[in-house]
Amino acid sequence: MTSQETVDHKYVYDFAEGNRDLKDLLGGKGANLAEMTNLGLPVPPGFTITTEACQAYLATGREPDGLAGQIEAHLESLERGMGRRLGDPHDPLLVSVRSGAKFSMPGMMETVLNVGLNDRSVVGLAARAGGNERFAWDSYRRLIQMFGKTVCEVPGEEFEHALDEAKRARGTTSDLDLDADDLRGLVDAYKKIFLKHTGRDFPQEPREQLDLAIRAVFESWNAERAVLYRRQERIPADLGTAVNVVAMVFGNLGPDSGTGVAFTRDPASGAQGIYGDYLANAQGEDVVAGIRNTVPLQDLERLDKRSYDELLDIMARLEGHYQDLCDIEFTIERGKLWMLQTRVGKRTAAAAFVIAGQLVDEGLIDLDEALHRVNGAQLAQLMFPRFRLDHDFEPVARGVGASPGAASGKVVFTSARAVELAAEGEAVILVRRETNPDDLNGMIAARGILTSRGGKTSHAAVVARGMGKTCVSGADEIDVNVPAKRFTVAGQTVHEGDVVSIDGTTGKVYLGEVPVTPSEVVRYFEGTLDPHEADDALVGAVHRIMTHADAARRLAVRANADTGADAARARRFGAQGIGLCRTEHMFLGDRRELVERLILARTDTERTDALAALLPLQRDDFVEIFREMDGLPVTVRLIDPPLHEFLPPLEQLAVDVAVAQERGEDVAKEEALLAAVRRMHEENPMLGLRGVRLGLVIPGLFAMQVRAIAEAAVRVTREGGSACPEIMVPLVGAVQELETVRAEAEKIIAEVVGDSGVEVLIGTMIEVPRAALTAGQIAEAAQFFSFGTNDLTQMGWGFSRDDVEGAFFWRYLELGIFGISPFESIDRDGVGRLVRIAAEEGRAARPGLKLGVCGEHGGDPESVHFFHSVGLDYVSCSPFRVPVARLEAGRAAVETVGSDSR
Ligand code: PEP
Ligand code: MG
């Protein structure tokens, strides 16, 4: 901008000039004050300084050119309207200076009240208040206190001490017992504190007070707590806050004055009615500070019926106007009601669904809008059992909330012990430094999983989410000692058998048992609670909105499931097929020995024998899954991880062999195993011999799997079922890899399916950047693509998916390099671009190419919207995320551009 443009740029809006759609510019509070003003509601006059002015101030460290003049002009007009001048010694206009960002950040930024009071205008204020000197001096001391703390960083405790001192001198504990003289003395004490800390007298010039207060509100955007809050709530760091300068009205002028908050419905349950609190003879901050007890809003009817009726009337108007639950702050000054704030009120997840349903019933919104008003994060919250933290439970550690839910149980440190205790009917929490595929049985047996290492895509996290099991990962204050069967945390030692409770939503870990409540919404999804019979407004509302989401969405939703039980659960939750059946767990447990035989085979015969022994076991696995998914597509991925993951760890094996040799035992087999493990050791296994590369290097491995899939499909079809297998090749980077695997697979399929009518598709994962960039070529050989966004993120960013989140993402988040881990929500600009390119080029080469995603992002709400926009056919996610993905896919389909649902 040139300096002339800067001068002309409009930085200040009178309330009458704004409206509720200008939240970006005027912040939520300013936009809604403007809206209420235009509705003709009693809003004290004022103006809003825009977020752009704040951004300019924060960028340059000074007010933008033109701002001072515009404030002057708006202040003059405010003074004219009120018939008073700011700080006039005889009849002062006082203003409040309040922050107000686009998204509500309650209590995170600053407010200064009573600006315009000084040694002279305090007298004028007393006169205007009918000689109420106490009120005037109390207002003045509040100004010095707030101004000192907020604008000049005077430690707040000093003022508190002085106030306590004044009360002690008067022999009371209540502010209300201080009289005008006490408060005048307090003002003197406050001024001394101010001078001591700032080296200057409290500013007497009203306009200087105003300018400094505005500047302090700008700066409070970057206060530490505001920065932390934004990060938590994923609010962009560059929005800035608007500043509202509003004529003061007083709720502390006597018993006919007061202040309160109100909700047009219950924000906790969504129930209809009037909810709120009122405090007579008080200012807003007294309510927040909890200095005195409020009374229920209904009591206002008795205290001031006229104001109460007017308030109810305004609340009804606001609800009709905003077509939503509103929350309101108001003040009554000597029997006159003033609206200080309104906004579409925050609510619990349950209330969000209930209210959306009610508003449809009331004809205020349609079902599309109801769907827009709720979101997947809320639904996910409603699906997990929750801790009832009504008692004093303090967490002892905090890790990553890796898989939501609440679980309590006895601590165990090994998979075997977890299985043992669970078989005895005990609830257990499996505690490990990190988990690996060997822990699977223990994870299945446990109520929850707690690890001291790893982030949201660590093995523990991914597997736990897949099972819908509570998991806290990366709780690094916990020091796990598996051999000693104990962990230490915060100076305490927890032994096997001691009880802990973990909250997979917040990542908090508690010692002892915290009571839990189960989710009704899950019972509804599982079909054990009929929405029409349930005496529960929530379940009815969820049912109605989900039904609409399913009708509206274009994206199909599949599940990632590897067992018949998971497949069955996924289907109950509404999955329309399996998008990823990982076959590797089928090589664990009692099949490990066969896998070792395969890996150690020295001759073709040994290898063929091992594969032949695995074949029927694999076939049975697939039969079970195809039966459960009768009629729906099942994408089976050929084996992906490096084979040495199926062998014992190198160090362990080396020690075992050395010990056995020392004892003179026969260790030929172990030595062969050790040699194989050494041979197969890789520095970067994630970039090594895995995925399609295994199929190309180990003869017969993929062929065995393909045969097992085809034979299982034929068997299920012959039984009268309908199997729709889709064979998926992992980690392809070049079309030639896929072509080679496909040629072999097609021969086997043709031979097995014969005239059974079974159709088997062959496609590939797109999870290597090169595959995305050569998707046009790859599509020639693929009947479908499924985006493996976990590996695509890993290789796109060069971030090891098992290490980086716990190691250094905090710093990246702090620096704003990204607002959320790209493993959690798709990085639209980079990894997302690879997806888009591959989708476009794939479909250009093969029109109608079926496209899906099966990385963790398939169940992430934000990412689902992205995949909808790219035009994928389906998303696939863990069974427990299926309802969330269904809801978000519906929202993506009905949502209008530019709307926000925060
Ligand atoms: C992926 O990489 O996104 C994927 C689904 O495969 P995996 O997580 O098994 O590597
Ligand atoms: Mg992968």
Q: What integer is the mean pLDDT of 406-427?
A: 94
Q: Is 562 in the pocket of ligand 1 (CB under 6 A)?
A: no
Higher pLDDT, 719 or 530: 719
Please tell me the predicted confidence (pLDDT) of residue 455. 73
Annotated catalytic residue within 54, 74, 372, 459: 459
Residue 305 CA to its chain's centroid (Å): 43
| Atom nearest to 854 CA in ligand 1 | 5
Please tell me the predicted confidence (pLDDT) of residue 518. 79
Q: How far is the CA of 826 from the centre of ligand 1 (A)?
A: 14
**Which run of H or E residues covers position 397?**
strand 397-398
Q: How far is the CA of 731 from the centre of ligand 2 (A)?
A: 7
Q: How far is the CA of 640 from the centre of ligand 2 (A)?
A: 8
Please tell me the predicted confidence (pLDDT) of residue 897. 39
pLDDT at 224 over 90: no
Please tell me the predicted confidence (pLDDT) of residue 292. 64
Q: Is 641 in the pocket of ligand 1 (CB under 6 A)?
A: no
Q: Is 459 in the pocket of ligand 1 (CB under 6 A)?
A: no
pLDDT at 699 over 90: yes
Q: Is 768 in the pocket of ligand 1 (CB under 6 A)?
A: no
Nearest listed ligand to the Cα of residue 732: 2
Please tell me the predicted confidence (pLDDT) of residue 289. 55
pLDDT digits (tens, 9 = 90+) for 708-717: 999 999 999 9
- CA torsion, ordered 79, 83, 87, 89, to nearest 10 deg: 150
Please tell me the predicted confidence (pLDDT) of residue 690. 95
Report the alpha-carbon distance of residue 391 to residue 409 in Å, rounded: 18
Q: Is 580 in the pocket of ligand 1 (CB under 6 A)?
A: yes
Q: Is 579 in the pocket of ligand 1 (CB under 6 A)?
A: no
Q: What integer is the mean pLDDT of 392-410?
A: 88
Does residue 857 carry a catalytic annotation? no
- How many degrees, rounded to 5, is the angle at CA 650 between CA 648 and CA 655? 95
| Atom nearest to 788 CA in ligand 1 | 3
Please tell me the predicted confidence (pLDDT) of residue 560. 97
pLDDT digits (tens, 9 = 90+) for 114-124: 999 999 999 99
Q: Is 566 in the pocket of ligand 1 (CB under 6 A)?
A: no
Q: Is 286 in the pocket of ligand 1 (CB under 6 A)?
A: no
Q: What integer is the mean pLDDT of 473-489?
A: 93
Angle at which helix 861-870 crosses helix 831-845, to 10 degrees, equals 30
Q: Is 767 in the pocket of ligand 1 (CB under 6 A)?
A: yes
Q: How far is the CA of 789 from the centre of ligand 1 (A)?
A: 7
Please tell me the predicted confidence (pLDDT) of residue 791. 97
Q: Are 485 and 453 contacting, i.e. CB atoms less than 8 angstroms apart?
A: no
Q: What integer is the mean pLDDT of 421-445?
A: 89
H-assigned helices in 273-374: 284-289, 300-303, 305-322, 349-361, 367-373
Q: Is 686 in the pocket of ligand 1 (CB under 6 A)?
A: no
Radius of gyration of the CA atoms of the chain, in A: 33
pLDDT at 660 over 50: yes
Higher pLDDT, 488 or 2: 488
DSSP 3-state helix, strand, coil percentages of the chain (rounded to 5)?
A: 50, 15, 35
pLDDT at 166 over 90: yes
Q: Which two tokens stand for residue 216?
A: 């302090």
**Burial call 520-553: b when 16+ CB within 10 Å, e when fewer:** bbbebbeeebebeebebbbbbbbbbbbebbeebb
Report the alpha-carbon distance of residue 667 to residue 657 in Å, rounded: 7
Q: If you take atom 8 of ligand 1, which residue's CA is the nearest one? A: 790
Nearest listed ligand to the Cα of residue 645: 1
Question: Which residues lie at CB < 5 A from ion ligand 2?
Answer: 767, 788, 791
Report the alpha-carbon distance of residue 505 to residue 511 in Å, rounded: 17
| 40-54, 378-392, 737-751: segment of lowest average pLDDT | 378-392
pLDDT at 759 over 90: yes
Q: Is 640 in the pocket of ligand 1 (CB under 6 A)?
A: yes
Please tell me the predicted confidence (pLDDT) of residue 756. 95
Q: If you take atom 10 of ligand 1, which residue's CA is the nearest one? A: 791
| Atom nearest to 580 CA in ligand 1 | 5
| Atom nearest to 787 CA in ligand 1 | 3
Q: Is 831 in the pocket of ligand 1 (CB under 6 A)?
A: no
**384: Cβ–Cβ under 8 A, 6 or more apart, which residues?**
404, 405, 406, 470, 504, 505, 519
Q: How far is the CA of 790 from the centre of ligand 2 (A)?
A: 6
Q: How far is the CA of 406 from the centre of ligand 1 (A)?
A: 26
Q: Are 646 and 690 contacting, i.e. CB atoms less than 8 angstroms apart?
A: no
Q: How far is the CA of 15 from the centre of ligand 1 (A)?
A: 53
Q: Is 863 in the pocket of ligand 1 (CB under 6 A)?
A: no
Q: How far is the CA of 855 from the centre of ligand 2 (A)?
A: 7
CB atoms within 10 A of CB 899: 8
Read out DSSP for 765-797?
EE-SHHHHHTHHHHHTT-SEEEE-HHHHHHHHH
pLDDT at 828 over 90: yes
| Atom nearest to 791 CA in ligand 1 | 2
At 667, is the pLDDT very low, low, confident or very high (cuts 50, 70, 90)? Answer: confident
Q: How far is the CA of 105 from the centre of ligand 2 (A)?
A: 39
Q: Which two tokens stand for residue 893?
A: 């389909």
Q: If you take atom 4 of ligand 1, which residue's CA is the nearest one? A: 788
Does residue 585 carry a catalytic annotation? no
At 872, is the pLDDT very low, low, confident or very high (cuts 50, 70, 90)? Answer: very high
pLDDT at 900 over 50: no
Q: What is the mean pLDDT of the chain?
A: 91
Nearest listed ligand to the Cα of residue 786: 1
Q: Is 466 in the pocket of ligand 1 (CB under 6 A)?
A: no
Nearest listed ligand to the Cα of residue 584: 1
Higher pLDDT, 266 or 15: 15
Mutation pick for ligand 1 pocket among 462, 854, 874 (CB with most ligand atoms within 8 Å): 854
Q: Is 585 in the pocket of ligand 1 (CB under 6 A)?
A: no
Report the alpha-carbon distance of residue 678 to residue 250 in Å, rounded: 79
Please tell me the predicted confidence (pLDDT) of residue 902. 35
Q: Which two tokens stand for residue 559?
A: 């599940």
At 896, is the pLDDT very low, low, confident or very high (cuts 50, 70, 90)? Answer: low
Please tell me the predicted confidence (pLDDT) of residue 899. 41
Residue 604 region, left (φ>0) first, then alpha (ψ -120 to 50), else beta? alpha
Q: Is 582 in the pocket of ligand 1 (CB under 6 A)?
A: yes
| 1-5, 208-212, 217-221: segment of lowest average pLDDT | 1-5
pLDDT at 267 over 90: no
Give percent above pLDDT 70 in the chain.
96
Please tell me the predicted confidence (pLDDT) of residue 535. 61
Mutation pick for ligand 1 pocket among 586, 637, 640 (CB with most ligand atoms within 8 Å): 640
Higher pLDDT, 291 or 259: 259
| Atom nearest to 767 CA in ligand 1 | 2
Q: Is 854 in the pocket of ligand 1 (CB under 6 A)?
A: yes
- CA torsion, ordered 137, 143, 144, 146, to nearest 10 deg: 140
Annotated catalytic residue within 854, 857, 868, 877: 854
Q: How far is the CA of 787 from the centre of ligand 1 (A)?
A: 9
At 530, is the pLDDT very low, low, confident or very high (cuts 50, 70, 90)? Answer: confident
Please tell me the predicted confidence (pLDDT) of residue 707. 98
| 388-402, 608-622, 678-692, 713-727: segment of lowest average pLDDT | 388-402
Q: What integer is the mean pLDDT of 785-795?
A: 98
| Atom nearest to 730 CA in ligand 1 | 6
Q: How far is the CA of 734 from the centre of ligand 2 (A)?
A: 16
Please tell me the predicted confidence (pLDDT) of residue 287. 64
Give percent above pLDDT 90 in the chain.
72
Q: What integer is the mean pLDDT of 224-248?
A: 86
Please tell me the predicted confidence (pLDDT) of residue 291. 55
Q: How far is the CA of 533 from the centre of ligand 2 (A)?
A: 43
Nearest listed ligand to the Cα of residue 635: 1
pLDDT at 238 over 50: yes
